Structure 1
Amino acid sequence: MHSKDPLVVWEDLKAVHRARGFATFLSLKRKFLTMKKEKGQKMSAWIGEVKSQVFEMEEAGLTVPDLDIILALTMGLPSSYDSLIINFDDTPSSDLTLDHVTTRLLAEETRQLTRVIPTPQTTIPTNAKDLLHNVTLSVNKTSLPVEQITCWFCDEKGHYKENCEKRKAWLELKKGNAMMVEDVDYVY
């Protein structure tokens, strides 16, 4: 390097060290299209990994259209995302943007993480209230940080339904109204 201009030095280094050639393009493209989301990997990390690979491909001189990025993002997902991918198939192509897909993937991850799954020990209850109670009890409450928990009663984050102050106040009000109804003398 003989130039004192950092931009010229950088361009010279880039020209010397940049991977080029048909074999390099094939290798990068193959890696890109066969990427898989790791089990337990956050969706944001998965999207970042795919975009990092896109950056590497573009630095090598390849053009990567958004449709290819969407394809790589969705091909590497586990089967739990199949219903979302089917939904993408029905989305008009004008609406199927990279931003739309990444937003939906992040939302689907949140939905899957907060989904209630009954344990195998849960017995079939006699009524729907018992079912809801059993399903609620079967949730692994340590799987999410408290700030990500959404109350089923008030829809606010940070607490469970049984700790909801609004629910406690509502139950007290309901209990008070029930007592008032019992005290009324009915005249026919």
Structure 2
Amino acid sequence: MVNDDQPLHVAVSLHSHATSVTVFNGLNFSEWREQVNFHLGVLDLDLALLEEKPTDITDEISDTEKLKRKAWDRSNRLCISFMRMTIANNIKTTLPESVTAKEYLKLVEDRFRSADKSLAGTLMAELTTMKYDGSRSMQQHILEMTNTAARLKSLGMTVDDSFLVQFILNSLPPEYGPFQINYNTIKDKWDVNELSSKLTQEETRLKAQGGHTVNLVGQGAGKVLKPKSKKFKKKGPAKVPQVTNGKTEDKADNCHFCKREGHYQKDCPKRKAWFEKKGIPYNPEHRPK
């Protein structure tokens, strides 16, 4: 306990600790109360918050009881001073001073705890609808969600770890779909720290692969299927048939009737003989219809 012969030291310590406490603004009671209890405990000044007011000092009480009452009075006075130093002025002026530290804290709670309930509803809505959009790292995204869950806990609304894991999975974009599906199929479920580690690795893989490939959870993870490239055979320049007088020339000395080289179809003796056999006047330019 801080000695009474060190008033200057106590005043400096009290002020130093008070400046590091989040100022109560009417909307952050749970956070403010937690910090007040912590700092007063560190300073060993929280006796008046822990124990009821002792018996008044009279000639009949023992010296031990007298010392206890003096210690309590000192703690009560400094606790109230500390709390008032950490409350916004527009709120502080509406609170009575002629009460004990314990009553003072209870009065603040009764007046402003309803604001905490409203804040808890807002935070829960944020937690359940939060989405990862890639504008920051996966680790930062998960940290924000865990911080929101921690704030809810300080407001008396504890978010179970398994629910937080599911909220994080629900916040992931479509490219993490296979990751989510495979997580639901594995037997051993992860806590938030394990999930954070796995998703950070997955984020790295997706960035390295251009965001188009998702690593599957479990056996076979890390395998990437690469699309097969189509191979095309190089073609040489197209052969263009030579045209003479609007007609395409046949290969030189190649007869289409007898399939022999050395003459054209119009000069083929076999073709001429065939016409004669059929009784058809021979026409070198004749083409079958």
TM-score, normalised via structure 1 length = 0.52
Q: Which has the larger share of helix? A: 1
* Alignment partner, residue 62 of structure 1: 157
2:208 is equivalent to residue 114 of structure 1: yes
2:125 is equivalent to residue 20 of structure 1: no
Distance 2:160 2:211 in 1: 38
Listed as ranges, the matches of 1:101-140 within 5 Å are 101-115=195-209, 124-126=229-231
Distance 2:127 2:137 in 1: 18
What displacement does 1:24 show?
A: 4.0
2:173 is equivalent to residue 78 of structure 1: yes
| 8 Å CA contact 2:120, 2:155 repeated in 1 | yes
Larger Rg: 2
Structure 1 residues 112, 63: CA separation in 2 closer, same or farther (over 3 Å shift)? same
Structure 1 residues 116, 52: CA separation in 2 closer, same or farther (over 3 Å shift)? closer
| 8 Å CA contact 1:37, 1:76 repeated in 2 | yes
What displacement does 1:125 show?
A: 4.9
Distance 1:116 1:56 in 2: 36
2:191 is equivalent to residue 97 of structure 1: yes
Aligned length: 120
What displacement does 1:64 show?
A: 0.8
Distance 2:145 2:166 in 1: 10
Which of 51, 55, 78 is the aligned partner of 1:4? 78
Segments of 5+ residues of structure 1 without an aligned counterpart are 128-188
**What amino acid is aligned across from residue 140 of structure 2 in structure 1?**
A
What displacement does 1:29 show?
A: 1.6
| 8 Å CA contact 1:35, 1:76 repeated in 2 | yes
Identity %: 19
Segments of 5+ residues of structure 2 without an aligned counterpart are 1-75, 87-101, 213-227, 233-289
Structure 1 residues 60, 47: CA separation in 2 closer, same or farther (over 3 Å shift)? same
